[in-house]
Amino acid sequence: MRKKFVGLLMAVLLCFHFSVSFAVGATKTSADFTDLKDLDAKTKAKFDAMISAGVFDGVGDDKFGLKDEMNRAQFAKVAALIFDLKVDTSVTTSSFKDVKADDPANGYALPFIEAVKAAGITDGYGAGVYNPAGKVTKEQLATFLIRGLDMKENAMATPGVNDSTVSDWAKGYVALALELKLLDNGADLKFGGQTNATRDLLLTGAYEAKGHYVAQVEQVEQKTKEEEEKKEKEKKKQEEQSWYPTSPPVQVILETPTALPAGGAVVSNTQVSLSATGGATIYYTTDGSTPTRTNGLVYSVPIVVDRAMTVKAIAVQNGKRDSSIMSASYTINVPKSALDLINEASESGNWTDVNVTTFGDAGVTDVIPEHLDAIKIALEIDSTPYPRTLSQIQAIVSQTIETLMVTAIYDYLNPFGGESPPTLQVFALAGITGVTASNLAEILDELSWAYQDSRSGQYGTTPMSTKQDIQNVVDRLLIQP
């Protein structure tokens, strides 16, 4: 197993519901690309992890290229990064006759192509050809990911998918990729193995494969640590027994397997890793039955928890007594929606988990940081019963913003306010109609005169501080000949 890639590991393990913000000039996120704005929060988290780790970048300053296709040279670099392959950047000679270091389009990929070949992920198309400019098909993607996880033998032993869109040689790889949820069939339940993979599928597939790879690395490291501790205990025990040469042999009982995480509420599709000491084999069940040497599955890859379940496991090894049964129960933690968070904060007055982004995720428009405090207060004191609908919250927010904008116009008219002239957007948010770019300056002058007149009593006693006062002045100006 290849050594652990700490930097990329930290990026990939970002929680689906963890919000990351960047200062100007920092690494890009999904928010920087216009074609990623409509992704759901869970998918955005995957894109943010791979983008921030430097595995993927956009095809332009503000475009990710969601449905663009990636060629085989580009994918070699992706595979080398997610599987932490040893890349010799000084290499200039290729194993493939169509890969040249001086190729202006794909020469950069030569070290990465050599790395994926050395790792057994691909041998190219045969006859010494790699085809760096060729597109990566979906069945090739499934094959590369499974081989990168060192699971080629598992794929060869799999019966394979019954899918006419997948080539015979790839059916076992596709079946295992679907089983591990690296990829999915799509809405029509046909994989489309010979069609080209798009960048969104390449990214999500790489993300899921990296998760499995990290789990494998952690499992091996945990086993190695436990084996070393076991050896140390046995050595100490032998040294103690050497003082009693006539003591009867002690029958060894295997230690109970452990699960990581050890149970509780988890997000859907959490991967549970099992481990046992001394190289013992683990049998496990997820249907509530008791695992034995003849009942259950042999543990080889992390268990995907996509529903409430109880994992039971036992460690066995020839010449030793079976371990006691480990039992770990899991429930699925369903995250609260942005609308739920706003309702809870409005009712409790605790806004710790709510910000401008939360309002946007809930579908509430026109909320900006400058207005956030006033909006929070308005939501807390409004008498609309809970839970409030999106339209009810939007109505409260819009009314609050309108009031703030009317106040901003009044503060400008007040000679002691010293505020900047209100813009077209301020008038629009205040609900004042009839204001355009061509008459804005004239309306501001008319409002200033009207304010001064109102102060002297010529228009009554109103101080021009209400929406209707301002609208009346605008309307009088518009109907003047």
SS3 for 8-53, per residue? Answer: HHHHHCCCCCCCCCCCCCCCCCHHHCHHHCCCCHHHHHHHHHHHHC
Q: Which whole number is the average pLDDT over 93-104?
A: 86
**Could you report the per-residue pLDDT of 268-321, keeping only the tens digit for each?**
889 999 999 888 999 999 999 999 999 989 999 999 999 999 999 999 988 889
pLDDT at 248 over 60: no
Under DSSP, the state recorded for 143 is H
Give the pLDDT band of residue 244 (cuts 50, 70, 90).
Answer: low
- Report the candidate in 308, 232, 229, 304 with the shortest Cα–Cα distance to residue 273: 304
Sign of CA dihedral 89, 94, 96, 97: positive
Which neighbouring-strand residues pair with 275? Answer: 258
pLDDT at 1 over 60: no
Q: Which whole number is the average pLDDT over 36-60?
A: 78
Of 386-390, 417-421, 477-481, least confident by mean pLDDT is 417-421
pLDDT at 4 over 60: no
Which neighbouring-strand residues pair with 332? Answer: 266
What residue ranges define each of the domains in the chain, with the CATH number in brackets? 6-212 (no CATH), 254-335 (2.60.40), 338-479 (no CATH)
How far apart, in whole angstroms, are the C-alpha atoms of residue 400 and residue 396?
A: 6
Q: Of all residues in the chain, what percent carry a pLDDT higher than 70?
A: 89
Q: Which whole number is the average pLDDT over 405-433?
A: 85
pLDDT at 461 over 60: no
Strand locations in 398-452 (E): none
List all residues 6 or more positions away from 226 whose beta carbon is below 8 Å from its beta carbon.
275, 276, 277, 278
pLDDT of residue 457: 64
**From residue 270, how far is each of 180, 215, 336 by CA, in Å?**
12, 11, 18
pLDDT at 105 over 80: no
How many Cβ atoms are within 10 Å of 336's Cβ, its own excluded?
Answer: 11
pLDDT at 186 over 60: yes
How far apart, in whole angstroms, are the C-alpha atoms of residue 450 and residue 455?
A: 9
What's the chain's average pLDDT?
A: 83
Which H or E run includes 338?
helix 338-348
pLDDT of residue 245: 56
pLDDT of residue 52: 75
**Could you report the per-residue pLDDT of 56-71, keeping only the tens digit for each?**
777 777 888 778 888 8
pLDDT of residue 437: 92
Q: Which whole number is the average pLDDT over 415-430?
A: 83
- State which of 38-52, 70-84, 425-439 shows the largest mean pLDDT: 425-439
Q: Which whole number is the average pLDDT over 215-228?
A: 82
pLDDT of residue 246: 57
How far apart, in whole angstroms, are the C-alpha atoms of residue 360 and residue 426?
A: 20
pLDDT at 3 over 70: no
pLDDT of residue 267: 86
**Could you report the per-residue pLDDT of 308-350, keeping only the tens digit for each?**
999 999 999 888 899 999 999 999 988 889 999 999 999 999 9
* Contact by Cβ (8 Å): 283, 291: yes
**Could you report the per-residue pLDDT of 126-179, keeping only the tens digit for each?**
788 898 888 889 888 888 888 888 887 887 888 888 888 888 888 888 888 888
* Contact by Cβ (8 Å): 466, 409: no
pLDDT of residue 23: 32
pLDDT at 458 over 70: no
- State which of 24-38, 84-98, 434-448 shows the largest mean pLDDT: 434-448
Give the pLDDT band of residue 219 (cuts 50, 70, 90).
Answer: confident
pLDDT at 75 over 90: no
Which H or E run includes 454?
helix 440-456
